[in-house]
């Protein structure tokens, strides 16, 4: 896990998200295997055609051990539900990015990477002892640019390069979770940073100052952040939405289909947060594209499943 975090924090590295995910998944697998071994849990794949186990082997002849998905799915897995959700999400994301680079992921999903690292340290100590904790390795990454509105816009621009397939995957996964699960710090660990003027000695020496989230200062920061977020969301015209849908593989989805779709799903209802009115014209947010892709994908899969399940015609 230290290697995963080191690579992610290295400004000279490319493929930060891809490298972090792969190394983190290996770290979690090793840790859970060690736990299962200590509890005498059989974590090797096997069949039992008779009274004896027959272990399943890899092409090179070695015995095949549970992968992380299998570890997380077992009742004997000691992890809490939200930590499992975080790992399942990253496992699925690994499948999405292992054959395709996705620029913009580093900032877009950083809260989930942070939760993964913190969860790992928590369970490393809980399952194997506090002496193995990684707390002493805590450090804050130094930046080469000020975190202001301009930098925020650059980050948003990069996030717009994320392939629609991955946007769809994120939306589909999140739609399966409840609000408390989405908000859990075990699933995604979020921090809000803002620049403040030092008011006492010693405070000016720290790049980060932690404050009580219930304090007046924290409430005012959260309110200011909410206002900025609302004004900085990228907006898409209906034509741009259709273009993105076609690029995602839905080539028969045109303007007429889009109009019928948003009417059927009450897409222009402001309470749903899919878009907004600007000078009497409606513009869509990126989450609308993700929602449409997810719904079309589910409809396509259901249609295919129904076709496969249909009984063969009986000849006269």
Which residue shows structure tokens 């994301």?
93
Closest CA to 284 of 258, 264, 260: 258
The torsion angles phi and psi of 278, rounded to 5 degrees, stand at: -130, 115
Burial 139-178 (b: 16+ CB within 10 A, else e): eeeeeeeeeeeeeeeeebeebeebbbebbbbbbbebeeee
- The CB-based long-range contact list for 29-37 (8 Å cut-off, 24+ gap) reads 29/66, 29/67, 29/68, 29/71, 31/120, 31/123, 31/124, 31/127, 31/128, 32/68, 32/71, 32/77, 33/65, 33/66, 33/71, 34/127, 34/128, 35/78, 35/127, 35/128, 36/66, 36/71, 36/76
Instruction: Identify the helix (H) or strand (E) that includes residue 55.
Output: strand 54-55
- What are the residue boundaries of the structural domains of the chain, listed by start? 2-138+145-191, 238-300
**pLDDT of 180:** 87
In 52-148, which residue ranges form alpha helices assigned H by DSSP?
68-73, 81-97, 105-108, 110-128
- For the entire predicted model, the pTM comes to 0.64
Q: What is the DSSP string of 200-261?
A: STTGGG-S-----TTSHHHHHHHHHHHHHHHHH---B-HHHHHHHHHHTT-TT--HHHHHHH
pLDDT of residue 77: 94
For residues 247 and 167, give the distance between their C-alpha atoms in angstroms, rounded to a whole number.
13
CA 21 to chain centre: 10
pLDDT for res 316: 47
Q: Are 71 and 62 in contact (CB under 8 A)?
A: no
* Average pLDDT by stretches of 10, the chain with 316 residues: 87 83 94 95 89 89 93 94 94 83 76 91 92 76 56 53 78 82 87 61 56 68 52 76 89 92 92 82 89 89 73 51
Task: Supply the DSSP symbol for 76.
Answer: T
DSSP 170: H
Query: What pLDDT score was predicted for residue 231?
Result: 47
Q: Which two tokens stand for residue 262?
A: 């948003």
User: Given this model, what pLDDT does residue 127 score?
Assistant: 92
Determine the pLDDT at residue 32: 96
């Amino acid at each position: 896990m230290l290697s995963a975090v080191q690579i992610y924090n290295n400004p000279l590295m490319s493929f930060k998200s891809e490298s972090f995910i792969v190394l983190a998944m290996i770290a979690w697998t090793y840790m859970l295997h060690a736990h299962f071994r200590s509890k005498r849990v059989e974590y090797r794949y096997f069949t039992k055609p008779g009274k004896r186990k027959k272990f399943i082997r890899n092409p090179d002849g070695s015995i095949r051990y549970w992968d992380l998905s299998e570890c997380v799915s077992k009742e004997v897995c000691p992890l809490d539900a939200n930590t499992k959700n975080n790992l399942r999400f990253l496992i699925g994301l690994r499948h999405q990015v292992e054959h395709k680079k996705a620029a913009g992921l580093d900032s877009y999903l950083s809260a989930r990477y942070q939760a993964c690292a913190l969860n790992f340290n928590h369970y490393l100590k809980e399952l194997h002892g506090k002496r193995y904790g990684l707390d002493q390795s805590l450090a804050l990454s130094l930046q080469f640019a000020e975190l202001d509105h301009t930098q925020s816009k650059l980050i948003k621009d990069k996030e717009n390069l994320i392939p629609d397939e991955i946007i769809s995957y994120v939306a589909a996964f999140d739609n399966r979770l409840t609000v408390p699960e989405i908000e859990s710090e075990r699933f995604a660990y979020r921090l809000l940073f803002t620049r403040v003027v030092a008011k006492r000695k010693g405070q000016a020496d720290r790049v980060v100052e932690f404050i009580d989230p219930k304090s007046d200062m924290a409430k005012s920061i959260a309110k200011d952040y909410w206002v900025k977020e609302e004004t900085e969301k990228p907006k898409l015209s209906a034509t741009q939405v259709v273009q993105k849908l076609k690029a995602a593989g839905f080539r028969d989805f045109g303007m007429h289909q889009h109009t019928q779709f948003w009417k059927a799903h009450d897409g222009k209802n402001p309470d749903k947060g899919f878009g907004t009115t600007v000078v009497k014209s409606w513009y869509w947010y990126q989450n609308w594209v993700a929602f449409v892709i997810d719904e079309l994908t589910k409809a396509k899969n259901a249609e295919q499943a129904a076709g496969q399940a249909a009984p063969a015609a009986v000849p006269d």
